[in-house]
Amino acid sequence: MSELFDAVDALVASRAPLPSAGERKRLRQAHGLTLDDVAAALKVRRATVSGWESVKKPVEPRGPEREAYARLLNKLAELYPAPAAPDPAPTAFTGRPAPGERTLSAGPAPDAAAMTEHENTRTAFAPAPAAPVEQAAPRPARTARSASTSRRPSARKAAPAGTPAGGTDPRFENGPLAVVDVDDGGQVLAYCTGGLVLDVPAKSIPALVEWTLKEAKLGQPKLSGPGKDADPLLVLTEAALERYGLPVALTEEERLAGRIPEGHKVIKQLARADWKLTKRGFGPWARIYRPATGSERACVQLCIPSWHALDTRHWGEAGQLPPAELARVLGVYASRVMTPRGSTAVTGLELMTALHPPTRASEPDADGRRHSEHNPGSLGKDPVDCAPCEAPDGHPVLADLPRFHVRGPGEKLFEEAYDWARPMTDSECTLRHLVGIDVNMAFAAGANGLVVGLGAPTHVTNPVFDPKLPGSWLVDLSHVDLSRVKTGKEWVELDGSLLPSPFTPKGDRPVGPAWYATPTVAYAVELGYEVRPAEAWVRHDNGRYLDGWYTRLRDAYLATMADLGVDADLAPADFLAAMDDYKRRDPELAIVVSAIKATVKGGLGKLRERPRGEGWRPGRPWRALARPTWRPDIRAAVISRTRVNLHRKIVKHAAFTGQYPVAILSDCVVYAAGGPSPLDFLPYRDGKPLPGGFKLGINPGLVKHEGTQSVLWGEEVRDRFDAPELNLARYIKDGAVTDVDNGE
């Protein structure tokens, strides 16, 4: 009898309608199951389960998998009944959300056209009440798939909610990029942004490139008038690599070389089709092109996650996401920052150039012809030499120095971020907590409004210091006494022994003349002390080159954090609650946040890129020196300004509260406090922060809670490693202590 009942149950399950795709996802998440969990139980691919949960046009399961899937959903529905429909009006996040709770960012009232578009979007994506944050990215009206780029209407599937739609430029109506995958039926599909999936007829990599340029309508409009449109980006999954004859993973030799061998059959196919590769060859970020004819470009970039194109330090587990979800992550990043051009560091540097192209078209000459000319405000198309003091060790301008010569502060500009700590005082040891606060997008904030050199430096002796003139200055700042400094127009008395020096990364007081960037010397003047430089390398051709770069990255960061429920106008307590586990509200958007922050730091780091193998020897040039964006002076100026910005806040805080930092690491500051929250030591009055001091908030330059540990933990760690000045800011986030080397 039981066998008959089982047969009846299977027959009913094979014909019974399944819940909506959004409800399927809600039930899975409510029970804490991942896509991998369900896929393993039902013996199908993860991408198959993802397709069953696609909201716009889900793929319906068939056969025995459908019966098992229906049984799973019925069991989960008994455990987790559907909640009541939520209030459709979006509200701002005001506290800690319950597990699985959705949060929507409040904004200005939309106009009628926007409301109409919003309703159309809601109809297409009908989310379940407990789905992740829906408004993760702006959604222009979706584009229909044309007959020329899609052969089967049934191949069209939906991406996760919140994926940005394709651009409004008709040339790029399907968005900036696509993730190329192979479905269970063997059909090659291109998952675009905005939920669009295109059939790919190409049978080889050369054919794929041709299809991309002629039919796919992928790419991104230029970011500035004289600039160039972004090339389309194709992301190849492991299944796509197998289909097109490429290895799923690189060998150790190939990984070290950064490319597959020149004799690989795919490279030969490209050569026969008259396609070329850049000097870095066919690697994780390959560029395939034909020489431009006039203004027409023919170039496609490939991203191969299984070859480690997406660094897990910055992209997390993005490379393991299903195609539609990966298209969403990269699409949000592309729409808000730019189409990735390589690592986040490479993209950060390319963004600078995209916003300030080196050349522009001139006005028509007598014959009506235009010519290429320098674009004012850019770094130009030719590299410039740095000053000797700005050159890193091994640079060609230092080739005449004796072998093994070690340059001191009087020969070398050394502007780096803080790495400072001190022993705790007796009164601090009586407190219970060590609380770390972290400056949001600190280096981006340091770049905002900063005047940097655009051209070559000029050497001067005995100059009068000019705080508006970017450059490097040889000056003695050892006379600056931090026990008595100016804040604004008033002199204040401080305990200088508890403060780091603002002039050195280790916080040590200078002992003689040293090279400093303009912001550092200007801060010494601001503190009330006279400066007399002995010499300088200054740049009279200058400007606010990084303003547009900062603005775009700031806007990308704030928009993505708002999608995660962290708005810029939250009250301090609400902000701390909103930041608590914000990554869990939408792990995919949290990846975008991480990538944006890495773009800032990596882009600035690329301004002083060091040799990367290539048989380099000290005194010889390396590849990066040929770039006009190799500018160590700009990097030094940003770091200098970021460090003094932080010191200024520390001084304001000490003058008002009598509290001094215990440790500083880059943009993280640790204070001893009586309670575990930043609100236990930050001097807020009626919700308003100390003017010029630390302020809680998500905007760049404001601070968030980094972590809290006990004072006993800090003392125990320092005793264990016999390091009374161990930098506790390095471990304050989770308390895990690693990489300790004699207190450094």
**Residue 57 belongs to domain with CATH number:** 1.10.260
Worst-scoring range by mean pLDDT, 108-112, 386-390, 602-606? 108-112
Residue 201 lies in a domain: yes
Same domain flag for 67 and 16 = yes
Q: Tens digits of per-residue pLDDT, 253-270? A: 999 999 999 999 999 999
Same domain flag for 392 and 337 = no
- Write down which residue in 307, 341, 375 finishes a domain: 341
Q: What DSSP letter does each residue of 473-502 carry, written as one string?
A: EEEE-TT--TTEEEETTEEEE--GGGS--T
Number of H helices, E strands in the chain: 21, 22
Q: What is the pLDDT of residue 647?
A: 98
Same domain flag for 218 and 302 = yes
Tokens 């009506």 found at: 368
Task: Check residues 682 and 56 and name the one with the higher pLDDT.
Answer: 682
Per the CB < 8 A criterion, the answer to whether 76 and 31 are in contact is yes
The encoded tokens of residue 637 equal 């100026």
Domain count, the chain: 3
User: Which residues does 331 contact at the CB level (< 8 Å), separation at least 6?
Assistant: 137, 163, 164, 175, 176, 177, 192, 193, 194
Same domain flag for 216 and 67 = no
Q: What is the pLDDT of residue 608?
A: 97
Of 419, 358, 444, the closest CA to residue 629 belongs to 358
**SS3 at position 602:** helix
Cα 39 from Cα 186, distance rounded (Å): 19
Residue 433 lies in a domain: no
Cα 9 from Cα 67, distance rounded (Å): 9
What does the pLDDT average to over 152-178? 65
Residue 697 lies in a domain: no
Same domain flag for 265 and 221 = yes
Phi, psi of 303 (to 5 degrees): -120, 125
- At 491, the amino acid letter reads W
- The percentage of the chain sitting over the pLDDT mark of 90, rounded to a whole number, equals 70
Tokens 């970039």 found at: 301
Per the CB < 8 A criterion, the answer to whether 65 and 44 are in contact is yes
Which residue range is the domain that position 313 belongs to?
153-341
Residue 463 lies in a domain: yes
Give the count of beta carbons closer than 10 Å to the beta carbon of residue 310. 29
Give the count of beta carbons closer than 10 Å to the beta carbon of residue 563. 25
| Contacts by residues 312-321 (CB-CB < 8 Å, ≥ 24 positions apart) | 313/598, 314/343, 314/344, 314/594, 314/595, 314/598, 314/602, 315/344, 315/591, 315/594, 315/595, 316/587, 316/590, 316/591, 316/594, 317/591, 318/588, 318/591, 321/588
Residue 351 lies in a domain: no
273, burial (CB in 10 Å: exposed 0-12, middle 13-18, buried 19+): middle
Q: pLDDT at residue 251 above 90?
A: yes
Q: How far is CA 89 from CA 214, 438, 562, in A?
A: 43, 33, 16
Residue 174 lies in a domain: yes
Partnered with residue 477 across adjacent β-strands are none
Same domain flag for 321 and 247 = yes
Cα 392 from Cα 394, distance rounded (Å): 6
Same domain flag for 178 and 121 = no
Q: Tens digits of per-residue pLDDT, 114-158? A: 333 333 333 333 333 333 333 454 333 333 333 333 433 333 444
Of 465, 469, 458, the closest CA to residue 533 belongs to 465
Q: What is the pLDDT of residue 118?
A: 36
Same domain flag for 196 and 284 = yes
User: What order do you get walking across the sheet with 471-476 strand by strand?
Assistant: 458-461, 535-538, 471-476, 513-517
Same domain flag for 265 and 334 = yes
Name the helix (H) or strand (E) containing 190: strand 188-192
User: What order do you get walking across the sheet with 433-439 strand by strand?
Assistant: 419-421, 663-665, 668-673, 433-439, 703-710
Beta strands in 71-183 (DSSP E): 177-182
Q: What is the pLDDT of residue 33?
A: 83
Residue 602 lies in a domain: no
- Write down which residue in 543, 577, 605 finishes a domain: 543
Q: Tens digits of per-residue pLDDT, 68-107? A: 888 888 888 888 887 755 444 433 333 333 333 333 333 3
What does the pLDDT average to over 423-451? 97
Q: What is the pLDDT of residue 10?
A: 58
Same domain flag for 397 and 507 = yes
Per the CB < 8 A criterion, the answer to whether 193 and 336 are in contact is no
Say how many CA atoms lie within 13 Å of 220 toward its Cβ: 29
Same domain flag for 305 and 203 = yes
- Write down which residue in 524, 543, 562 finishes a domain: 543
Same domain flag for 158 and 116 = no
Residue 367 lies in a domain: no
Q: What is the pLDDT of residue 35?
A: 81
Of 397, 541, 542, 540, the closest CA to residue 460 belongs to 540
